[in-house]
Amino acid sequence: MRTQHIGSLELDQARLAEDLETSAGFRYSEAYSDYLCGGPWKSAVLWAASGDNGDGLVTNYDYAKAPDLTDYGKQLPYIWGLVADLVDLTRLNFARLAVISDSVIIPHRDLLELESIPGESRNAHRMHIPLVTNDRCFFSSGNEVYRMAEGEVWFFDAAQVHSAASLSSTPRVHLMLDFTDQESDEPLVKLPYRVDGGIPADRVERRPPMSEEERAELLGLAPLITMDNYRDVFSIVIKKHFRADGGDDFVWRTMREIARAGRDPAVAARIDEMQRYFTLERSA
């Protein structure tokens, strides 16, 4: 399903605040933090196979078992009520709270490691609902940068190369729901929506085109890049992608260029290997 805004929920801020306070006591998983440069990707599993909180890695759940509410899910009556009223639970595979601050995500595709899981029990459609966000939080899909607002319901195409940023110390809290691809007479979402919306023009962030001077400045990092700091360089290049339009494949292209112009060939090899892992192939 294409990334698109399909509707909005009225959030009851007082009830939400109560649940968020409860969730502050959870032991969040930091699985997938290798996708981030900066703060970790913290997730709390609310709904998963056999109601097991698990370790947060989607490949480590028993897909032969029916999904159910976890201990964490049970402790968030308001947030869980929103989910149960909104979606067809029979096709819901995973529900997570995802929290990030002071961090950016390496452009990647998801679902690449799920091919060995049977089709009808594998995550196939994703939905994002921001619960707490701010104007320093961004997403990108390909070379399009956009923002989601609190309470909005979005389909999210995780098979396209995507990235995200949370450029402040205030945690961004999203509900992330993953669905299977089973046939059903019931709608997946109990909201009237059209499935052709795409990213609304007023959510797209208009970035200035990147100047030749700015590109040259980034390439100026080449003499500095080493095996010790290439993730710091990644962070600078990804942050630039959210502020200026460098064209298609800007992040990976720029990282390859910087690494090749650098002094240590091992860095260029590492970037190529990472690009394969994050965007092309990944086995569980």
CA–CA separation, 282 vs 284, rounded Å?
A: 7
Nearest to ligand YCP of 97, 258 (CB atom): 97
Which of ligand YCP, Co ion, none does residue 32 bind (CB under 5 to 8 Å by kind)?
ligand YCP
Answer yes or no whether residue 19 interacts with Co ion by CB under 5 A: no
Question: Could you say which residues in the range 120-149 bind ligand YCP, by CB under 6 A?
Answer: none
Minimum Å gap between C-beta 280 and Co ion is 14
Answer yes or no whether residue 257 interacts with Co ion by CB under 5 A: no
- Binding residue count for ligand YCP, defined by CB under 6 A: 7
Using the rule CB under 5 A, which residue among 58, 67, 99, 110 binds Co ion? 110
Residue with tokens 């298609």: 248
Answer yes or no whether residue 32 interacts with ligand YCP by CB under 6 A: yes
Please give the full DSSP string across 121-163, using - where no structure is assigned.
GS--EEEEEEEE--TTEEEEETTEEE---TTEEEEE-TTS-EE
What are the φ and ψ backbone dihedral angles of 139, each rounded to 5 degrees?
A: -125, 160
Question: Could you say which residues in the range 147-176 bind ligand YCP, by CB under 6 A?
Answer: 162, 164
**Among the residue ranges 55-63, 83-91, 108-116, 230-238, the one whose residues contact Co ion (CB under 5 A):** 108-116
Answer yes or no whether residue 35 interacts with ligand YCP by CB under 6 A: yes
Nearest to ligand YCP of 35, 234 (CB atom): 35
Please give the structure tokens belonging to residue 85: 């009223």
Q: What Cα–Cα distance (Å) separates residue 214 from each residue in 172, 219, 241, 272?
A: 29, 9, 11, 23
Pairing of strands 162-166, 103-105: antiparallel
Please give the structure tokens belonging to residue 183: 């046939």
Q: What Cα–Cα distance (Å) separates residue 135 from each residue in 27, 57, 94?
A: 27, 29, 27
Answer yes or no whether residue 28 interacts with ligand YCP by CB under 6 A: no
- Binding residue count for Co ion, defined by CB under 5 A: 1
Answer yes or no whether residue 94 interacts with ligand YCP by CB under 6 A: no
Using the rule CB under 6 A, which residue among 110, 152, 157, 257 binds ligand YCP? 110
Longest pairwise C-alpha distance within the chain? 59
Please give the structure tokens belonging to residue 91: 């096709």
Answer yes or no whether residue 152 interacts with Co ion by CB under 5 A: no
How many CB atoms lie under 10 A from the CB of residue 129?
A: 24
Please enumerate, as own/partner, the contacts of 229-232 that have beta carbons within 8 Å and a separation of 24 or more. Answer: 230/255, 230/259, 230/267, 230/270, 230/271, 231/37, 232/37
Answer yes or no whether residue 278 interacts with ligand YCP by CB under 6 A: no
Which of Co ion, ligand YCP, none does residue 241 bind (CB under 5 to 8 Å by kind)?
none
Residues that bind Co ion (CB under 5 A): 110
Residues that bind ligand YCP (CB under 6 A): 32, 35, 41, 105, 110, 162, 164
